[in-house]
Chains A and B, each alone.
Chain A
């Protein structure tokens, strides 16, 4: 591969990132292994003692695991929609952030479904999902949709990385072991930057970009229909499909901003992940926050106005400060108002502030997923009879929290390992001089 000057400079800049693990990087990995080890022990306890070690019981059958599942699938939208949309619109400023976005997609889609497996009581019957699949079931739709989405995400990431693998393969200055160079060579698929190869990759990227957007919309719509197709108060809503899709893109944007800030700090990438990237994504976040706020308002206003008994019970739980009121307040203030206010005021449009808003928003979106799952299950459609009083309220146990933080640590670890395998900014895409406006 022949590189232009800008690409050569970029490769020189990013080479240390993928050549070796610094002491800080190793410390970071060790720190991540701690919650993962605790999660491993929690998993062992859950498998040996059964789901009684969780807070889930007969009435509240879903809890932290399902909230985590929806959360991770949601943040995977960063790559699918953002990089897909921006690629199709040929937005120049997308180039430094595409790799990060695509990594978020693949890693989040790998981790999210694991929480379903943690929630399932009989993993030995997992194959029944395929062997006895009913096409009419939203669960079947979800299994098929997420599998298809994961495959597409991996394909998208790989396609966008082929040129870079070829660059690593041919970069004699890159101080990497022989096995890694051979691996890059295999992954590069004999890419030599010939015109026909360039065209093939470009056409495939366009195809996949077109494909991945509706696919991502379908995936999260299907995920929402697992809730929306039931008759439960708080779940049975016609706008759950677009509501979930919007929430997913919104939270994905937040995670992307946070990831960009981390890499910018850790690898000193101010010249590549510039202020304008944060501002542009911040504006997207603000717009999405406004739309998400509108959907939230519409959802709860409709429920409240209908004065339907069980919807009213859920709303009472959400607005009662002695129950879920504080969480609800946090989810809406930190999740909607704070990002909008920070980005709307030009004085506050700084990478650090936008990132703080994004982090708060991501946490708030997780809380919102929790508030979708648990309060509704505590408010059954039909009155519960002959039930134990302790089953009517859900409290997550240390097992569930350990596995939650273990999943988050796994997400960070996989991201760290991926950033050591390939540069976080795609060198092949990078064509403009760093530090200059595009």
Chain B
């Protein structure tokens, strides 16, 4: 095959392949245009806190091109269903993690007769996501938490029960014990409640606290089928007090006092320069008197 013929074939091949490539990408675009709307996945939960408030949460995700993606900054509305009537509790936006939360600062919505209360959350959808709604029911429950020092051991005693007209202990239920930290909660222990719904945990003595040594301890029974997540907190002065002034770095670029070398250089420089100025001014005064 001669050079010119070879070149001609190569050129033709390139043109053909490019054409195929272009048309493929064109087809892909066409395929995109004709894609149906996506169906959201909604996970609706509630956290009952300290027996006096409820946090309703819904996490919305979609599977897009095989990848599960969160749905952020979209409006959702929460409702309380009473006798088939949806009473609006409020509306909010999903956050950057696709989770929408609504605080209800009372638990009167939860029935005292140990019957479940029904809640609903609705999502109206977007241009490429269908709207959806989810329902969940929760019974009223609570964790009573107490703290005492027994034989020099910091002990947290918990009682998990369904609250209402009658106290019904929740036996054989997993409870997790945390301490609140800056970014997330630190798990200190976990266990299962006994027949009376009680369990106790030991709190370590070396947990850093705030300036006064206070730490926030959290007991949580998570994702219970009938109750959602039940949580309770207590603040105890059981932590190690935070010492904001570290003597080891008392002099640093970022601390209140500058490093010694910086102070020395500054004093020397200023003394030399202003010393010269004062000598000259002294000469001025002498000049005047001559």
Residues of A within 8 A of B (CB): 134-136, 144, 148, 151-152, 155, 159, 162, 189-192, 194, 196-197, 200-201, 203-204, 207-208, 211, 215, 218
Given contacts A207-B276, A207-B279, A136 and B287 within 8 Å (CB-CB): no
Given contacts A135-B262, A136-B262, A200 and B269 within 8 Å (CB-CB): no
**Docked-complex contact B270 and A148, CB < 8 angstroms:** yes
Nearest CB of A to B255, in Å? 8
Bound: A223/B269 CA distance, A: 17
Bound: A69/B289 CA distance, A: 40
Is the C-beta of B248 less than 8 angstroms from some C-beta in chain A? no
Given contacts A136-B262, A197-B290, A207-B276, A218 and B283 within 8 Å (CB-CB): no
Residue-wise, chain B 267-290 has the 8 Å CB interface mask toward A (1 for contact) of: 001100110110111011011111
Of the A-B pairs whose beta carbons lie under 8 Å apart in the complex, a sample of 15, sorted by A's number, is A135-B262, A135-B266, A136-B254, A136-B259, A148-B274, A151-B277, A155-B277, A155-B280, A189-B288, A190-B289, A190-B290, A191-B287, A197-B290, A203-B283, A208-B276
Contact residues in A for B263 (Cβ distance below 8 Å) = 135
Among the listed B258, B276, B281, B290, which residue makes an inter-chain contact with A134, where contact means beta carbons less than 8 Å apart?
B258
Residue on A nearest B269 in the bound complex, by CB: A218
Contact residues in B for A191 (Cβ distance below 8 Å) = 287
Residue on B nearest A205 in the bound complex, by CB: B280
Given contacts A190-B287, A190-B288, A197-B287, A211 and B258 within 8 Å (CB-CB): no
Residue on A nearest B252 in the bound complex, by CB: A136
Please report whether the interface of chain A is mostly helix, strand, loop or mixed according to DSSP: helix
Bound: A169/B258 CA distance, A: 50
Contact residues in B for A148 (Cβ distance below 8 Å) = 270, 273-274
Nearest CB of B to A158, in Å? 9
**Docked-complex contact B277 and A189, CB < 8 angstroms:** no
Nearest CB of B to A199, in Å? 10
Among the listed A134, A190, A208, A218, which residue makes an inter-chain contact with B280, where contact means beta carbons less than 8 Å apart?
A208
How many A-B pairs have beta carbons closer than 8 Å: the answer is 53
Is the C-beta of B253 less than 8 angstroms from some C-beta in chain A? yes
The A-contacting residues of B in range 24-55, CB under 8 angstroms, are none
Bound: A135/B258 CA distance, A: 6
Among the listed A135, A194, A200, A215, which residue makes an inter-chain contact with B283, where contact means beta carbons less than 8 Å apart?
A200
Bound: A151/B275 CA distance, A: 13
Residues of B within 8 A of A (CB): 253-254, 258-259, 262-263, 266, 269-270, 273-274, 276-277, 279-281, 283-284, 286-290
Bound: A203/B280 CA distance, A: 9
**Docked-complex contact A159 and B280, CB < 8 angstroms:** yes
Given contacts A135-B263, A136-B258, A189 and B273 within 8 Å (CB-CB): no
Contact residues in A for B276 (Cβ distance below 8 Å) = 207-208, 211
Nearest CB of A to B275, in Å? 10
Nearest CB of A to B152, in Å? 45
Known A144-B270, A200-B287, A201-B283; further 18 A-B contacts with Cβ < 8 A:
A134-B258, A136-B253, A136-B259, A148-B270, A152-B277, A189-B284, A189-B288, A190-B288, A191-B287, A194-B290, A200-B283, A203-B283, A204-B279, A207-B280, A208-B276, A211-B273, A211-B276, A215-B273
Nearest CB of B to A190, in Å? 5
Bound: A75/B269 CA distance, A: 24
Q: Which 8 A-B pairs have the closest CB atoms?
A: A135-B258, A189-B288, A204-B280, A200-B283, A189-B287, A190-B288, A211-B276, A136-B258
Query: Which of A135, A144, A194, A196 has its CB near the most chain B CB atoms (within 10 A)?
Result: A135
Nearest CB of B to A56, in Å? 27
Contact residues in B for A204 (Cβ distance below 8 Å) = 279-280, 283
Residue on A nearest B257 in the bound complex, by CB: A135
Bound: A235/B177 CA distance, A: 49
Contact residues in A for B281 (Cβ distance below 8 Å) = 155
Nearest CB of A to B261, in Å? 11
Given contacts A189-B287, A201-B287, A204-B280, A152 and B273 within 8 Å (CB-CB): yes
Contact residues in A for B277 (Cβ distance below 8 Å) = 151-152, 155
Contact residues in B for A151 (Cβ distance below 8 Å) = 277
Bound: A208/B281 CA distance, A: 11
Contact residues in B for A207 (Cβ distance below 8 Å) = 276, 279-280
Nearest CB of B to A212, in Å? 10
Residue on A nearest B279 in the bound complex, by CB: A207
Nearest CB of A to B251, in Å? 10
Contact residues in A for B287 (Cβ distance below 8 Å) = 162, 189-191, 197, 200-201
Nearest CB of B to A221, in Å? 12
Among the listed A136, A152, A196, which residue makes an inter-chain contact with B290, where contact means beta carbons less than 8 Å apart?
A196
Residue on A nearest B263 in the bound complex, by CB: A135
Nearest CB of B to A111, in Å? 22
Contact residues in B for A155 (Cβ distance below 8 Å) = 277, 280-281
**Docked-complex contact A200 and B273, CB < 8 angstroms:** no
Bound: A162/B253 CA distance, A: 44
Contact residues in A for B273 (Cβ distance below 8 Å) = 148, 152, 211, 215
Contact residues in B for A190 (Cβ distance below 8 Å) = 287-290
Bound: A152/B272 CA distance, A: 12
Nearest CB of A to B193, in Å? 45
